[in-house]
Structure 1
Amino acid sequence: MTENIDEAGIRVLTEEELISAVVEKHRRFLEENKKEFVELDSRLNQVEENIKNAKNFRTRMEERKEVLKEKRQQFYHQTEALLEKEIFPKMDPTTVSKLREELKKLKGQIDPEEEQKLKDLFMQNLRETILAAGLGETVLLQANARMEEARKSNIELKEIKDSEKQLVEDDSSKSEEISKSKSQHKWLSTRIKNHEEALSYWEKLKV
């Protein structure tokens, strides 16, 4: 058998050479796995950090939403108080009732676009009523300014709600990424351990 191998020009490796080849193989795999592990570990840490930041951001946005809701209602309350004091007592009950009803709709939870339409209608009716009654326009300007601030609060509120929807989608994507990464992370950790043990075993034989 040996003669046939020699005739074919094939050299049989010695035991030491075979062990060296096995050691080199495990070293190569160990190096590759460790490199992949470090890269994956870094990505995993970054994703987890992003999730943590998103959670903190969401908490701040919840607080901001409450502030904006309160701020919006305060501006409408100021508008209502202004009209109750300066305008409504000088108008007939039917007109006052109509304006109060329109103001009530404005104070509800509506989109900024709808709020703009209702505000324009309210201000138009209020302007016509004030001019017809011969009252000054100062109160009209003050009411409009307060209602505009209320609408701006609602715009910001909507922007926050829209951003929260995107956060929910991002969270779902990140959770899936973490799940896959952790599985790969665990697999690589096991591979590294196996190669380290194998390398230790074969290096002892090499000596």
Structure 2
Amino acid sequence: MAENIKGADEIKIFTREELSALIARKHGKFLDEYNDEFSRMKGEDRMKNYAKGRAVVLHDKEDILNYWAEELENEKKQLLERKRQILEAPRDIEKIKNEILIKEKLALSMDEDRKRQVEWEIEKLNSEIDDLKKLMDSDVAEIDSIISGLNEGIKRYADEAEESKKNMEEMQKLSSTPLTSEYQYDWLEQRVKSHEEALDYWKGKHKGYKG
């Protein structure tokens, strides 16, 4: 009988404040655990949002780089055409000279009105020869040097555009990856809120609570 009484004496009787503190600690422990997991999942969500925004930026960058590469390509085509004209100028001049000789011979047997028309045509052809001679003064080596620089620029922009495209696809993939569990995310969010409210309540019941 005495032992029973002794055992009864050892039973801990909590005061209201002590009980409030214990309950608050319990909610605090759960809150810490849920917060850790919830923070991890919020990190995933932030990463998804970042990846989504980054994908848009990379897409725009790819478009700009491709545009610059295309502009350089057009400039290169113009220079190649100019180079072709320079290299073919001597042959073109000879063709025009032959055409002039033919017209001059034909003009000998023409009336005055028709002869004046042919003379005007010959004058125009001579003007074309002058333009071709000026074109021949252009430095082909300089054009080749410019084209070489353009080729480097085109390749650089194309490579950077391709790299941006790959990075964009990675960001798009990351942004479309579902969270570990959408249901778990919502559940954790509610549990965190619930334990925060409970913790605030029981902390209020025990003013000396220190966690």
The TM-score range, normalised by the shorter chain, is 0.5 to 0.7
- Number of aligned residue pairs: give it: 160
Report the TM-score when normalising by structure 1. 0.56
Computing the radius of gyration over CA atoms, which structure comes out larger, 1 or 2? 2
Structural mapping, 1:182-197, within 5 Å? 185-197=185-197
| Letter in structure 2 aligned against 1:154 | I
Q: Distance in 1 between matches of 2:5 and 2:88?
A: 113
| Letter in structure 2 aligned against 1:78 | L
Unpaired segments ≥5 residues, structure 2? 93-135
Conserved 8 A contact 1:69-1:153:
no
Matching residue of 1:153: 153
- Determine helix, strand or coil for the equivalent of 2:76: helix
Matching residue of 2:100: none
Conserved 8 A contact 2:41-2:179:
no
- The farther-off stretch of 194-203 and 63-72 is 194-203
- Percent of pairs with identical residues: 22
- Determine helix, strand or coil for the equivalent of 2:180: helix
Q: Distance in 2 between matches of 1:82 and 1:5?
A: 114
Conserved 8 A contact 1:33-1:192:
yes
Unpaired segments ≥5 residues, structure 1? 93-134
Superposition RMSD on alpha carbons, in Å?
A: 4.0
Conserved 8 A contact 2:59-2:165:
yes
Matching residue of 2:110: none
Distance 1:10 1:144, change over 3 A: farther
Report the TM-score when normalising by structure 2. 0.55
Conserved 8 A contact 2:23-2:202:
yes
Larger RCO: 1 or 2 (CA < 8 Å, sep 6+): 2
- The farther-off stretch of 27-36 and 165-174 is 27-36
Conserved 8 A contact 1:68-1:153:
yes
CA offset digits 1:73-125 (Å, max 9, x no partner): 221222212322x1124359xxxxxxxxxxxxxxxxxxxxxxxxxxxxxxxxx
Conserved 8 A contact 2:56-2:168:
no
